[in-house]
Amino acid sequence: MPGLISEVDIQRACERLRTVLPESFPRQYFGRERMARLERIVGTKLTTHFLLDLLVRQQGPSLLAERPRRIGAQQTSVRRLLLESLDDEALRSLFERVRGREAPENRRSIERDLAELNWHRGSMTALRVTRALGLPDAFAGVKERNGRTSVYEIEPIGALPPLKAFQRGILREVRLLLERRTRVMVSSFTGTGKTRIGMEYVVDQLLAEEQQPLVIWVAQKGELLEQACDAIEQLWPWRGQELGEPLQIFRYSEGSRFEDELTSRPTLVVASSQQLVARLGSEDPFVRQILARAGLVVIDEAHHALARGHQTIIEEYERLRRPAQPRTLGLTATPGRSNLLNPEESRLLAELFGQVLVVPQVTSAGGALGWFQSEGYLSELRHRSLATPSQVAQTLGKLKRIDELDQTGYRDYTKSFLEIVGEDSTRNRFILEELTRLDAEGRHMLVFCCNIAQAELLAQSLLVQGTPAGLIHHQIDRRDRHHTVAQFRRQELRILFNVEVLTTGFDAPRVDTVVMCRPTLSRILYEQMVGRGMRGPKMGGTEWCEIVDFTTNFGKFQEPQAWEAFWREWRRPESEELGPVFEGLGWEVVPAQPEVEAAPN
């Protein structure tokens, strides 16, 4: 259940709604087909009482946010039905307090107006409406849950464990290369601390620049930007003591605007690529100012950098920065794109980052993965593939095609294919039984689903059995996603269902089970999903992680290989060593030897 809503508040809301909502409403709200699938999976008919409880838990602080839509035979919503339950005096009073003007004579006009009212969580208007409708204050929501404002400061007071030897080696090579180059890419396995390495170099630049030091950290998703904030909040209190000044953070995403001029103090701008591109298009002076000042731009999850906009950011940065030296650092686990057998896009990615790729130089008969596992940096992967019974073979045969290029350039299954697989009740019942068994063992599970409908069905099915589970997808408010992920990290929730959001940048070190319900044709997406459980004991993770595969993913891709997958495809036939330019790809590989002796920062 999203948000900070207590069990007492849930029960109070259910009691209030039972006095107002028609008995048929909860079933109509979820839809006849959804209810039929849910009841087939759990094997029982669900009561109205239970469905109302399920509705309140699922919607949480968004319960009153929805505008009227087709539910059953009418256009309505929970908010509209509660408004209709108010007497004339209470309804008119609420309108006048919210709208600040005299209420119309027509009652229906008042109900329609307030039902269509824009809902801003945590606002005074939301609180007034929530109270007037007889629900606990928690259902008005809150404005911000992570304590970070758009601009804030970090004081230089604190300590942090030193980098690992292989991390120091990578950082050393980045420092050397970006003295004479303008663009460099770093690749290492998910869970080996790329964000920490990148942020160490960020601090290098902030400390080295004598006048108006500024760095920009760019990512596609809000979760990645918050992870960057986490990293700098841990690092600056330690390393910033050398400078003795607070670090100013600008969180430039989700429509943020900054009218004030930048100060001369050390500044980190944490920005979404979408926001930067949009503001460049509108010629926002703030964006042009930060690009001209930035001594470094970091592109997180840089395998996405061929997506529309990233090239614009890098090119505009270098144009505005000169004649001072621009520096661009990319971070990724997989320095390639889409299909390994068609290297053209990967070649373009190499060109975008100056064709320089820094990777950890490790020696092991088991390859890089074996070395990281033997050293305790990555967990031992245990794989279990489960053949699932299915009802959809005939339906799949009717599809004209099952694969396509998605908006980021990856070839993967179509949404239609994933929808058919995700709604298969026989398959979902089998998955539910296995999840229940794993939960009884106390597993900490991250579950990747085909689509939102499947994730909601499985989460609801577990709730029928009395097992709470978290749910993350892009339609859920970012604040609720943040809270749910925090609960999962604290192990208050042991099961977290995910659709697309947590394939990159998600850090929950104690995951011991990754469950794959979603098939994929993309090696990169596969490695990102598996990587969520790979953090080993020396990185705060687990000794082992089981990959429970309800798909054929493992059969296609086997164990994660990160950059080595591309190395095997494009190495020169006469050479097995890192170092030469990948044939047909264009990366100049720079192997970073571990730096055994701790280097001063």
What CATH number corresponds to the domain at position 205?
A: 3.40.50.300
Co-location of 394 and 522 in the same domain: yes
| Same domain for 389 and 301 | no
Given this model, what pLDDT does residue 258 score? 67
Same domain for 419 and 316: no
Residue 352 lies in a domain: no
Indicate if 401 and 517 belong to the same structural domain: yes
Spell out the alpha helix ranges (H) of 116-193: 124-132, 165-180
In a domain, 171, yes or no: no
**Average pLDDT, stretch 285-307?**
91
Verify that 123 and 187 share a domain, yes or no.
Answer: no
520 domain residue, yes or no: yes
Alpha-carbon distance of 301 to 303, in angstroms, equals 6
14 plus 119 within the same structural domain: yes
Per-residue tokens: 440: 């009884």
Q: Does 570 or 486 have the greater pLDDT score?
A: 486
Confirm whether 212 is domain-assigned: yes
The answer as to whether 147 is a domain residue is: no
Quote the pLDDT of residue 505: 54
Q: Which residue type does 254 have?
A: E
Give domain status of residue 349, yes or no.
Answer: no
Claim to verify: residue 529 and residue 454 sit in the same structural domain = yes
- Per-residue pLDDT at 560: 54
Statement: residue 214 has pLDDT above 90: yes
Indicate the helix (H) or strand (E) that contains 485: helix 478-489
CA-based nearest residue to 312, from 253, 352, 355, 356? 352
Task: Kindly write down the DSSP assignment for every residue of 36-55, as one continuous string.
Answer: HHHHHHHTSPPPHHHHHHHH
pLDDT-derived band of residue 503, with 50, 70 and 90 as boundaries? Answer: low
Q: Is the peptide bond before 246 cis (omega within 30 degrees of 0)?
A: no
440 and 324 co-located in one domain: no
Among 455, 462, 469, which residue's Cα sits nearest to residue 432? 462
pLDDT at 40 over 50: yes
Token representation of residue 213: 């030091």
More confident residue, 294 or 534: 294
Tell me the average pLDDT across 336-345: 59
- Return the closest-CA partner of residue 63 out of 94, 29, 111, 19: 29
How many domains would you assign to the chain? 3
SS3 at position 356: strand
Q: Would you say residue 552 lies in a domain?
A: yes
If asked whether residues 123 and 157 sit together in one domain, one would say: no
- pLDDT value at position 394? 55
Percent of the chain with pLDDT over 70: 82
What is the per-residue pLDDT for 132? 97
Query: What was the pLDDT predicted at 213?
Result: 94
Please check the confidence at residue 459 and state whether its pLDDT lies above 80.
yes
420 and 546 co-located in one domain: yes
**Which tops the pLDDT comparison, 79 or 561?**
79
Residue 169 in domain: no
pLDDT tens by residue, 553-596: 656 665 555 445 554 443 433 334 444 444 445 678 898 999 87
Same domain for 329 and 213: yes
- Residue 56's nearest CA partner among 98, 25, 31 is 25
Question: 140, 177, 144, 154: which is closest to 65 by C-alpha?
Answer: 140
Mean pLDDT for the chain? 84
Q: What is the pLDDT of residues 461-474, one digit of tens each?
A: 999 888 989 998 88
| Residue 200: domain span | 152-161+182-334
**Pair 385, 489 in one domain:** yes
Q: Give the pLDDT of residue 508.
A: 64
Going by C-alpha positions, the residue among 386, 408, 384 that lies closest to residue 301 is 408
| Rounded distance between C-alpha atoms, residue 551 and residue 529, angstroms | 13
Measured distance between the N- and C-terminal CA atoms of the chain, rounded to whole angstroms: 43
pLDDT digits (tens, 9 = 90+) for 391-431: 665 555 555 566 655 555 567 788 888 888 898 899 999 99
pLDDT tens by residue, 361-397: 887 666 788 888 899 999 998 989 888 877 665 555 5
Encoded amino acid at 233, one letter: E
Out of 334, 357, 377, pick the residue that ends a domain.
Answer: 334
Domain end position, chosen among 334, 358, 388 = 334
Per residue in 233-244, pLDDT (tens digit) is 999 988 888 888
d(CA 104, CA 92): 8
Residue 102 token pair: 């005299």
